[in-house]
Amino acid sequence: MFVAPFIVIGIYLTFRCPALTSPSIIHLNTLDDVVRIKSIVDSIPEMSLPSQLKFGFEMLTSDRSNIHVLVRPSMEPAVAEGLFYKYIKAMQITCPQKTRIGTAEDGGWDACITGPFNISAPCLVYSIGMGGEWSFDYMITDTYKCLDMAYDPTLCKKDYKPKELLWFYNTGLGIANIVNSNKWKLRTLEKLLEENGHLNRTVDILKIDIEYSEWESLEAILRDGSLRNVKQLMVEFHTMEVNEGRNSTTLNYAYYWHILRGLDKLGFKSWHYLATPSGHYTSAHTKTKLPCCANVYFVNASLLI
């Protein structure tokens, strides 16, 4: 019986564990941020897809087809907010068959399993951010026999191997290879792939749930092209309101919009949207109830041509 890591974990939790000061990782986007991400996304060649896709997938006519009507910094916040939510909720493609990996509650994730997205060994998963909820990681290794590279610097655990196919690293995903103000070691996706010898290997699933840091991490991913070998992308997106007392601005919405536009240009098409049931707030701009957090699921449609 493998018990040693669980004995050691208790020591990790009391040994120089950095304070979890999440407000320090949430910042208001500036016009420079928006100009920078727009330039990155504008430089990405747009993938064109045929009208007929393989394996029974179908493109959907949705509000996302009007993606080039950008959220502009000059817009009123209420208008930018409406466009952002209308866009992120609109699905682009069907997935004929899906399955749940992990708990049915928050912490489990849905996966498309049709055609090239079927999950079977040898498979590779990058699981970025768990928050102590391991059901996805245990099922992806135990049931699907995938190698799972799991990362979360907020758990205050040293690097270790909980299971035969599961590796845990006290490292987070970020926009640069740095140690941040929380004393968390951050790496870009490209650097993680390089460190593990996976730069040229297919990644079956990339899952990201990192409490608003997904936006700037995805900026680095769009900049360096590290999604090129990823089949499925699962992201829990957060707005500024995930941190109590903060309100998203037009510049925030413009930044979010360009990130999503970049994923679209790379051929990552959304097939499922699920708002977190407990994560809602009242908009400061429209006084409507909106989700601060939602899981959005993408497939790499280049595999369907």
By C-alpha distance, which of 165, 75, 74 is closest to 123?
Answer: 165
207 vs 188: CA distance, rounded Å: 14
pLDDT, tens digit, 9 for 90 and up, residues 233-279:
999 999 999 876 789 999 999 999 999 999 999 999 999 999 988 88
Return the H-helix or E-strand segment holding 194.
helix 189-195
Q: In the predicted model, what is the mean pLDDT of the chain? A: 89
Q: Are 146 and 125 in contact (CB under 8 A)?
A: yes
Q: Mean pLDDT lowest for which of 58-62, 222-226, 282-286?
A: 58-62
By C-alpha distance, which of 156, 188, 193 is closest to 172?
Answer: 188
Other Cβ atoms within 10 Å of 159 Cβ, number: 10
Which sequence spans correspond to the domains of the chain? 4-304
Q: Are 271 and 263 in contact (CB under 8 A)?
A: no
Q: Are 299 and 231 in contact (CB under 8 A)?
A: yes
pLDDT, tens digit, 9 for 90 and up, residues 106-119:
999 999 999 999 99
| pLDDT bucket at 67, cuts 50 / 70 / 90 | low
Q: Mean pLDDT lowest for which of 59-68, 94-103, 198-207, 292-301?
A: 59-68
pTM exceeds cut of 0.85: yes
Work out whether strand 98-101 and strand 289-291 pair parallel, antiparallel, or are unpaired. Answer: unpaired
The predicted structure's pLDDT at residue 196: 98
3-class secondary-structure state, position 220? helix
Other Cβ atoms within 10 Å of 73 Cβ, number: 18
Give phi and psi for 17, each to the nearest 5.
Answer: -80, 120
Indicate the residue type of 73.
P
| pLDDT bucket at 23, cuts 50 / 70 / 90 | very low
The predicted structure's pLDDT at residue 8: 27
Q: Are 21 and 238 in contact (CB under 8 A)?
A: no
Largest CA distance in the chain: 61
Residue 20 has pLDDT above 80, yes or no: no
The predicted structure's pLDDT at residue 61: 78
The predicted structure's pLDDT at residue 26: 56
Work out whether strand 185-187 and strand 172-173 pair parallel, antiparallel, or are unpaired. Answer: parallel
**Counting Cβ atoms within 10 Å, is residue 63 exposed (0-12), middle (13-18) or buried (19+)?**
middle
Strands (E), the chain: 98-101, 109-112, 123-128, 146-151, 160-163, 166-169, 172-173, 178-179, 185-187, 203-208, 230-238, 268-275, 280-282, 289-291, 293-300
